[in-house]
Amino acid sequence: MKKLILTALLIAVFGLTAHAQQALFASQNIKSAEVNKDNTVTFRFIAPNAKKVQIAGDFAPKAENNPIGGMVGTGLIDMKKETDSLWVYTSPKLASELYSYMFVVDGVVTHDPNHPYLFRDFGTVSEYFIVGDTPADMAYNYKVNNVPHGTLSRRWMESKMLNTTRRINVYTPAEYEKNPNKKYPVLYLLHGSGGDEDEWVHFGRTCQIMDNLIAQGKALPMIVVMPNGHPAMEAAPGESSWGLYKPFHSRVYSGDGTFETHFAEIMKWAESEYRIQADKQHRAIAGLSMGGGHTNTISRLYRNTFDYVGLFSAGLIRAGRGKFYDNMDELLQQQIKDGVKLYWVGVGTEDFLYKSVQDHLQLLKKYGQKYTYRESGDGHVWKNWRIYLSEFAPLLFK
Amino acid sequence: MKKLILTALLIAVFGLTAHAQQALFASQNIKSAEVNKDNTVTFRFIAPNAKKVQIAGDFAPKAENNPIGGMVGTGLIDMKKETDSLWVYTSPKLASELYSYMFVVDGVVTHDPNHPYLFRDFGTVSEYFIVGDTPADMAYNYKVNNVPHGTLSRRWMESKMLNTTRRINVYTPAEYEKNPNKKYPVLYLLHGSGGDEDEWVHFGRTCQIMDNLIAQGKALPMIVVMPNGHPAMEAAPGESSWGLYKPFHSRVYSGDGTFETHFAEIMKWAESEYRIQADKQHRAIAGLSMGGGHTNTISRLYRNTFDYVGLFSAGLIRAGRGKFYDNMDELLQQQIKDGVKLYWVGVGTEDFLYKSVQDHLQLLKKYGQKYTYRESGDGHVWKNWRIYLSEFAPLLFK
């Protein structure tokens, strides 16, 4: 029916034939993923010839060996064939969260043609949806709400050190352009080893979280700088002169201190391109996994530069990892002596880095550094990092 | 093998288990879509249980009735099962172009798990790849090359008229931040009825085309403003407070002059937020399909505002369409009398709007307006609009 109305409309306005515009619209008259009022979620998929349709998602029971790859840790749930062609699954009530999913049709991973919202996480693409409609819900702040919106600038910076031009994402708060003489504090937000400069924007929902926290008066207006943490990369996959290659991790990972050294250029660039309060009191740095490792190293190396440090499920590099990291222990003691206003550490109880993070807390205790520790559930997953950003940002620059 | 190296690397650096990082990487050890040296393209897909795997793409033979929807006009090509699980198809040599494709497995549309590069066009998501490696290739300029890159800013503007905040994308050339006192000419670039403010960025490759043309000295550095042409929408699907809804066209289309009236706010906003040369000689407007219709109307309504007008496969609204469009013929004559430096019209020979565009050319002749006419092959497709932008931009502001 909608299609008929549309067709009539288009013919009336433009003299379009129905044919010509069909390409614009998915032709399946079903909704999926449908978040129901009671926070159950219904998934629908049309596959008349399939023998089995399953769903994988971070709401599914955990499983060690998921044969499909790409979304390890989630089991597969069988969907039910309700008509000749329609497969359906309705989840239990889900907690407020951003979730991702994939369909698996007779063993083949596929996406949902009725849900065009996808994230790329390194080489894997999955659908996502959000449960949580009221301000009391954690995921409410992951949504675009009717609040003033900041700007996301997809910039490029020249790196003399790396002899290349590198992509960098910058969030400026909604009021930034309205206050041309005001300077702002800055948060450097670093991604994990499987990520790139787009990761905090997409999976991290950084723009939405910051817009909402600032609008609610919970966080101060601040600039968030999201660089690419792999010195070998110009930019996220598909956004560089490498073309549309198949992303693989070993091509880009560097654990030799290059990024940490290059970070001086990033800071210099940000401070010259944006109205940043360029002092220790107004600088924060945080990162997840590898980015937590970078945060740990950078905040020690650059003396009296950061008053706010956030380690999110940090992949901590310690002494013994090569020359660059040799005096890490000394540097930590120096950092503590110099003073850090907020030392924030978060990790999930099921994270494979849990033990390593606990060891770090012991070290902080040993050297007398106060810290805020946030232990959440789950493992090494985006759910935790969105929560950590949502809780860390309100503590900054106050 | 790569996986083993990766695992070893991660264990060495972070003490990661293989398990923990698997989620980051597609686990299939094949390449797809692989653009071969002779510009044939090989597609590979793993589906051990499938009876039939097909591929749809804009390189496939045309077909009136494609049962899969979502990509009308393209036929389905059968892929060959080469091993127990691997399906393969190698295309003939393809002309330099950006192409999109989908796999169809036993009638079910799916994406390519080995190729994480997808575009959303309204409600439909498809893979894309680019053929054309040398500067002589048309599609070379659609690639990210080693040239200075401009900035894409994802901005929001307040609209008093529409009583809402609306998303707007702005491209500024690479040199913009380096010349804080220089003003730039502006191109307003409008999307079609199935699009949004992201359409010219994604399918249109506007940032890449402008970066490359400017670096080659073919186009002058200019600002490109890409607003959302549906007054009912705050932003592209998924980017607004409507949430992650299923996009459908009839919800947003407006053909009553609202966008054309609102455009005054857009221009005012752009000229206050960016260093724009705000005079007729330095303003261009162009659009595709509905955006071509908007261009046609706006360039008449706003007298002495645009010296450069580009109609790309324009959906032209003429008198008789309601009060707003009653005096279109008069306005055209007035526009011609006032003077237009470049009146550029492009359309494909198979476009369903072809006849309507020819009628418009007759009108221009009748009223004595010189024009540049570009007739390309194919129909109402993105291929043409990328070509038109690539040819139109170099003619501006000279």
Given an 8 Å threshold on Cβ–Cβ distance, is B49 in contact with A125? Answer: no
Per the structure block, which two tokens stand in for A87? Answer: 């497969």
3-state SS of chain B? Answer: CHHHHHHHHHHHHHCCCHHHHHCCCCCCCCCCCEECCCCCEEEEEECCCCCCEEEEECCCCEECCCCCCCCCEECEEECEECCCCEEEEECCCCCCEEEEEEEEECCEEECCCCCCCEEEECCEEEEEEEECCCCCCHHHHHCCCCCCCCEEEEEEEEECCCCEEEEEEEEECCCHHHCCCCCECEEEEECCCCCCCCHHHHCCCHHHHHHHHHHCCCCCCCEEEEECCCCCCCCCCCCCCCCCCCCCHHHCCCCCCHHHHHHHHHHHHHHHHCCECCCHHHEEEEEECHHHHHHHHHHHHCCCCCCEEEEECCCCCCCCCCHHHCCHHHHHHHHHHHCCCEEEEEEECCCCCHHHHHHHHHHHHHCCCCCEEEEECCCCCHHHHHHHHHHHHHHCCC
Q: Which residue has the tokens 């170099």?
A: B394
Given an 8 Å threshold on Cβ–Cβ distance, is B20 in contact with A380? Answer: yes
pLDDT at A7: 36
Omega of the bond leading into A26 within 30 degrees of 0 (cis): no
Per the structure block, which two tokens stand in for B316? Answer: 């032209």
Return the bridge partners of B276, or none.
B184
**pLDDT of A277 strictly over 80:** yes
Per the structure block, which two tokens stand in for B353? Answer: 């709007």
Q: Which residue has the tokens 């937590």?
A: A292
Q: What is the bridge-based pairing of β-strands B308-312 and B342-348?
A: parallel
Torsions phi, psi of B265, nearest 5?
A: -65, -40
- Cβ atoms within 10 A of the Cβ of B137, count? 17
Mutant choice from B72, B119, B152, B274 vs A, greatest count of A C-beta within 10 A: B72
Count of residues making up chain A: 398
Cβ distance A10 to B370 under 8 Å? Answer: no
pLDDT at A109: 86
pLDDT at A340: 98
Given an 8 Å threshold on Cβ–Cβ distance, is A27 in contact with B194? Answer: no
More reliable by pLDDT, B107 or A389: A389
Cβ distance A313 to A289 under 8 Å? Answer: yes
Mutant choice from A14, A37, A109, A118 vs B, greatest count of B C-beta within 10 A: A14
| Phi-psi label, residue B69: left if phi above 0, alpha if psi -120 to 50, beta otherwise | left
B47 contact residues in A (CB cutoff 8 A):
106-108
How many Cα neighbours within 13 Å face the side chain of A93?
4
CA nearest B257 in A: which residue? A13
Per the structure block, which two tokens stand in for B175? Answer: 């040199």
Torsions phi, psi of A51, nearest 5?
A: -85, -30
A253: contact with B, CB 8 A cutoff: yes
Given an 8 Å threshold on Cβ–Cβ distance, is B177 in contact with A273? Answer: yes
In whole angstroms, give the CA distance from residue A118 to residue A111: 9
- Cβ atoms within 10 A of the Cβ of B189, count? 31
pLDDT at A247: 86
In whole angstroms, give the CA distance from residue A245 to residue A196: 15
Q: Which amino acid, one-letter code, is at B272? A: S
CA nearest A157 in B: which residue? B149
Average pLDDT over residues A181-192: 98
Confidence of residue A11 (pLDDT cuts 50, 70, 90): very low
B249 contact residues in A (CB cutoff 8 A):
6, 21, 24-25
Interface of B with A in 168-227 (CB under 8 A): 174, 177, 193-194
Q: Which residue has the tokens 């109880």?
A: A349
B275: contact with A, CB 8 A cutoff: no
A5 contact residues in B (CB cutoff 8 A):
250
In whole angstroms, give the CA distance from residue A329 to residue A335: 10
Residue A118 C-alpha from the chain's centroid: 13
Torsions phi, psi of A162, nearest 5?
A: -95, -5
pLDDT at B9: 37
Residue B122 Cα distances to A16, A117, A145, angstroms: 18, 11, 21
pLDDT at B136: 93
Residue B245 C-alpha from the chain's centroid: 22
B141 min Cα distance to partner chain A (Å): 12
Prediction pTM value = 0.93
Among residues B159, B179, B175, which one has the least CA distance to residue B167? B159
Interface of A with B in 341-360 (CB under 8 A): 352-353, 356
pLDDT at A61: 83
More reliable by pLDDT, B324 or A253: B324
Given an 8 Å threshold on Cβ–Cβ distance, is A123 in contact with B24? Answer: yes
How many Cα neighbours within 13 Å face the side chain of B39?
15
A242 min Cα distance to partner chain B (Å): 8
A324 min Cα distance to partner chain B (Å): 13
In whole angstroms, give the CA distance from residue A316 to residue B136: 48
**pLDDT of A197 strictly over 90:** yes
CA dihedral for A253, A209, A75, B114, sign (positive or negative): negative
Which residues, at least 6 apart from B77, have a Cβ–Cβ distance to it below 8 Å? B54, B55, B56, B57, B60, B61, B89
B271 contact residues in A (CB cutoff 8 A):
none
**Stretch among A9-23, A25-39, A374-388 having the lowest mean pLDDT:** A9-23
Given an 8 Å threshold on Cβ–Cβ distance, is A244 in contact with B356? Answer: no
Per-residue pLDDT of chain B (398 residues; tens, 9 = 90+): 333 333 333 333 333 333 333 333 345 789 999 999 999 999 999 998 899 999 998 888 877 655 555 455 678 899 999 999 999 999 999 999 999 999 999 888 888 989 999 988 888 888 999 999 999 999 999 999 999 999 999 999 999 999 999 999 999 999 999 999 999 999 999 999 989 999 999 999 999 999 999 999 999 999 999 999 999 999 999 999 999 999 877 667 778 899 999 999 999 999 999 999 999 999 999 999 999 999 999 999 999 999 999 999 999 987 777 778 888 999 999 999 999 999 999 999 999 999 999 999 999 999 999 999 999 999 999 999 999 999 999 999 99
B73: contact with A, CB 8 A cutoff: yes
Per the structure block, which two tokens stand in for B110? Answer: 């799916």
Q: Which amino acid, one-letter code, is at B106? A: D
Which residues, at least 6 apart from B36, have a Cβ–Cβ distance to it below 8 Å? B42, B90
pLDDT at B23: 37
- Cβ atoms within 10 A of the Cβ of A207, count? 22
**pLDDT of A250 strictly over 80:** no
3-state SS of chain A? Answer: CHHHHHHHHHHHHHCCCHHHHHCCCCCCCCCCCEECCCCCEEEEEECCCCCCEEEEECCCCEECCCCCCCCCEECEEECEECCCCEEEEECCCCCCEEEEEEEEECCEEECCCCCCCEEEECCEEEEEEEECCCCCCHHHHHCCCCCCCCEEEEEEEEECCCCEEEEEEEEECCCHHHCCCCCECEEEEECCCCCCCCHHHHCCCHHHHHHHHHHCCCCCCCEEEEECCCCCCCCCCCCCCCCCCCCCHHHCCCCCCHHHHHHHHHHHHHHHHCCECCCHHHEEEEEECHHHHHHHHHHHHCCCCCCEEEEECCCCCCCCCCHHHCCHHHHHHHHHHHCCCEEEEEEECCCCCHHHHHHHHHHHHHHCCCCEEEEECCCCCHHHHHHHHHHHHHHCCC
B6 contact residues in A (CB cutoff 8 A):
248-250
pLDDT at B312: 98
In whole angstroms, give the CA distance from residue B370 to residue B354: 19
Given an 8 Å threshold on Cβ–Cβ distance, is A155 in contact with B154? Answer: no
Complex-level ipTM beyond the 0.85 threshold: yes
**pLDDT of A15 strictly over 50:** no
Among residues B273, B310, B266, which one has the least CA distance to residue B176? B273
- Whole-number percent of chain A with pLDDT over 70: 90
**pLDDT of A384 strictly over 80:** yes
- Mean pLDDT, rounded, of chain A: 89
In whole angstroms, give the CA distance from residue B97 to residue B99: 6
Mutant choice from A86, A163, A246, A321 vs B, greatest count of B C-beta within 10 A: A246
Confidence of residue A68 (pLDDT cuts 50, 70, 90): low
In whole angstroms, give the CA distance from residue A118 to residue A97: 16
Given an 8 Å threshold on Cβ–Cβ distance, is B152 in contact with A153? Answer: yes
**What separation, in Å, do the N-terminal and C-terminal C-alpha atoms of chain B show?**
55
B143: contact with A, CB 8 A cutoff: yes
CB-nearest partner of A123 from B26, B194, B246: B26
In whole angstroms, give the CA distance from residue B218 to residue B220: 7
Cβ distance A103 to A69 under 8 Å? Answer: no
Interface of A with B in 285-344 (CB under 8 A): 289-290, 293, 315, 317, 321
